[in-house]
Amino acid sequence: MTAWLHPTSLMYKKSFVLLLVVFFSVAAMAQQRAHKSTDQINSLNWSILATINYVLNDKNQFSPVYSESVKRFKDKPFDLEGYLIPVKARKTHHTFLLSPLPVNQCNFCGANGIPAMIYVESKQPIAFTGKTIHLTGILRLDDTGDVPVRLVEAEFF
């Protein structure tokens, strides 16, 4: 047996680790569903959120630019149906992202581009689910903070 194939050699260990990384990467990609536009939830309220644009400010950061249609709902009740995207590893969530695409799809690729997402602060906790959830809350806009659009005091139907 050559020296680099010997189980104690560093080259063998690196090759084995690389093989494992490639194997698990290919397995993960094979399990991910192809992006289908029929999986995306289309509604008037998601269309309204999609009108938020972002510009690069003088601090080299992206700042939101709210359309008039979004501003009409500022600090008013707003309802959405979407998929829960966890922001922390927990069994139940009070804060999470809501997306018009399921979490098992790449939210940053595909024919439809980057979907509009909203940060949710709910009144009651919800367990993760791959099914859609329907909720209502107060729409908050903040062009000075880290979260430009939030749904606060959210409740589930």
pLDDT value of position 35: 53
- Residue spans of the domains in the chain: they are 1-31, 37-156
Q: Model's pTM, two decimal places?
A: 0.70
Q: Which helix (DSSP H) or strand (DSSP E) does residue 16 occupy?
A: helix 10-31
Task: Provide the token pair at 128.
Answer: 């993760």
Q: Does residue 134 register a pLDDT over 90?
A: yes
CATH superfamily to which 37-156 belongs: Nucleic acid-binding proteins (2.40.50.140)
Long-range contacts from 46-50, C-beta under 8 angstroms, 24+ separation: 46/80, 46/82, 46/100, 46/116, 48/73, 49/116, 49/118, 49/149, 50/115, 50/116
Residue 54 has pLDDT above 50, yes or no: yes
Ramachandran area for residue 101 (φ above 0: left; ψ -120 to 50: alpha; else beta)? beta
Structure tokens given for 154: 């959210």
Secondary structure (3-state) at 5: helix
Mean pLDDT (whole number) for 63-70: 93
